[in-house]
Amino acid sequence: MVERVPAAEPRGRAWIARCALVVAIAVAAFVFARTGRFVPERVNDTAGYTDFDFRSWKGVLTSIRTPGYPLLLRAIGLISASPTAVPVAHFVLFAAAVWLFFEALRQMTGRCWLSLWIAACLLSSAIFVTYNRTIATDTPGGAIGVLSAALLLFWTVRPRLALLLAIGGATVAGWLIRPVGVFLVVWIPLVGAWLVAWRSHSSLTDPSAPPADARPTPAGAFLRLSLTAVIPLMVWIGLRGALFGHWGVACFDGYNLIGLAGQFVTPETTARLSPDQRQVVEAALASRAERRKGGAWFLDEPPLHYLRLEYNHDDTIWKDYLPPARQVVGDEPLALNAFLGGMARTIIASQPLDYCVWLVKATRQAVRKVFSDTLQYPVSLALLLVGVVFYLTLPLRPPPSGDAMQTLATLRLVAVLAVSYAVLNLLCTIPFVPPRERMTDAAALWGPPLLAAWVASLVSRCRHRGAAAVNSPASGS
């Protein structure tokens, strides 16, 4: 069945929709101001960004943080020294990304009001509503995700070099601001190739669209987008590897891994470690015993109990393993990361089944949290309830056509964006850190828009059925 995508709607409607989106953003700003979401909040990670050392290239390239967000904080500081400047800047960045996504989706689908409805619901995403006020990478990372999707849609409609370079810039910003954003390097080529294939199989009536021979094939799109996304990442990793011997985005993978593996290490594995590693593990186990006496959460549970692994991940790094590791290798982040990472990989290699148990439990927990955390917000919950009511009250119907089919095609597009974004995001998270709320909220960025598109498809089917009933011969007898 061919998915029909109509021509762009009249310009007058587009400007009315733009004004409506401005109103939605203004309402969101008013709600944020009234609920204290423009009051900055420092979190555990904040000091690592505000105190980032830009005095030397070595400090930049070997830090446990990537320089993207510290650079953003410096840019904000040049504009305003107000305490509310950071949350306001987060809001502006996310709102601007939502605006661009609305314009891109409107061009891609030709559906003005549907694009407005879907884009406006991004303003209720948890990564925006909950984390806008925190001086951390969560909301800017979400803004980059929305921006990347918008640029992909623009490029699919108009495959221009400038847009391709902009996609590359957004990808770099994604992993420089938030290292887990490295999943964009995979997400962008895959989704871009799918979008090109989807558009080529759609019945387009946009006269301004480039001719078929000027548009890339799905394979060509995948290759172009892959090179655009991968080359800057390889340059960054290669530079760090050649100069300092660390082949990664930031010097923090070892810290995160020991926070997991260091919790389920057995005496048999400890005996096989090097003397320095064994010394650190023994000191870490003694520290954990002291924390257990102090009533630390879940330490009386079995080593592979999920909540024990999640709630003690940070303390395992900073209180149990890092102090004795500093006594062995010193305070340099590069050496510490290499030492902790090597020890963690040795433990995992000795206990692969335990690590697999962790992966299974963390995946189950991540899926649960993506759904539960999304639905705890009023807009998402309301969308789900409305959708369920429409679905349960719809009688059996023939396959949709016309406007309903066009809305269904847009639902499919948003579903591909949402599911692929969540899956690839979590695949880069679960092997290293527990899927806490800020991780699953980041993965569930597209949850509200997906629910909005689903409700719109159900409403469209109701309208189609009602129109068919009115125009049927029986209705005139």
Instruction: Answer whether residue 236 shows pLDDT above 90.
Output: yes
Instruction: Answer whether residue 214 shows pLDDT above 90.
Output: no
pLDDT of res. 208? 52
Which residues contact residue 64 at a Cβ distance below 8 angstroms, ignoring those fewer than 6 apart? Answer: 48, 250, 251, 252, 255, 333, 337
pLDDT level of residue 475 (50, 70, 90 thresholds): very low
Mapped onto helix, strand or coil, the DSSP state of residue 69 is helix
pLDDT level of residue 83 (50, 70, 90 thresholds): confident
**What's the whole-number mean pLDDT along residues 91-106?**
97
Instruction: Answer whether residue 469 shows pLDDT above 50.
Output: no
pLDDT level of residue 389 (50, 70, 90 thresholds): confident
- What is the secondary structure of 269-333 as a DSSP string? HHHTS-HHHHHHHHHHHHHHHHHHHTT-TTTTS-TT-HHHHHHTHHHIIIIIIHHHHHHHH-S-H
Q: How far is CA 265 from the centre of its chain?
A: 31
Is-contact 78 28, C-beta < 8 A?
Answer: no
The mean of the pLDDT values for the chain is 90
Is-contact 158 206, C-beta < 8 A?
Answer: no
CA 55 vs CA 58, 61, 69, 245, 401: distances in Å: 9, 11, 16, 21, 62
Q: Which residues pair with 3 in a beta bridge?
A: 202
Q: Rounded distance, CA 73 to CA 78, Å?
A: 9
Q: Which of 51, 84, 96, 94 is nearest to 69 (CA)?
A: 51
pLDDT of res. 450? 96
Q: Rounded distance, CA 90 to CA 421, Å?
A: 21
Instruction: Answer whether residue 173 shows pLDDT above 60.
Output: yes
- What is the secondary structure of 8-24 as a DSSP string? PPPHHHHHHHHHHHHHH
Is-contact 355 270, C-beta < 8 A?
Answer: no
Whole-angstrom distance between the N-terminal and C-terminal Cα of the chain? 33
Q: How far is CA 260 from the centre of its chain?
A: 22
Which residues contact residue 269 at a Cβ distance below 8 angstroms, ignoring those fewer than 6 apart? Answer: 346, 347, 350, 351
pLDDT level of residue 401 (50, 70, 90 thresholds): low
* pLDDT tens, position by position, 407-450: 888 999 999 999 999 999 999 999 999 999 999 999 999 999 99
pLDDT level of residue 391 (50, 70, 90 thresholds): confident
CB atoms within 10 A of CB 294: 8
**What's the whole-number mean pLDDT along residues 452-462?**
88
CA 262 vs CA 51, 310, 312, 341, 433: distances in Å: 28, 12, 10, 10, 12
CB atoms within 10 A of CB 175: 25
Mapped onto helix, strand or coil, the DSSP state of residue 398 is coil
- Backbone conformation region of residue 39, classed left if phi is above 0, alpha if psi is from -120 to 50, else beta: beta
Q: Rounded distance, CA 400 to CA 394, Å?
A: 13
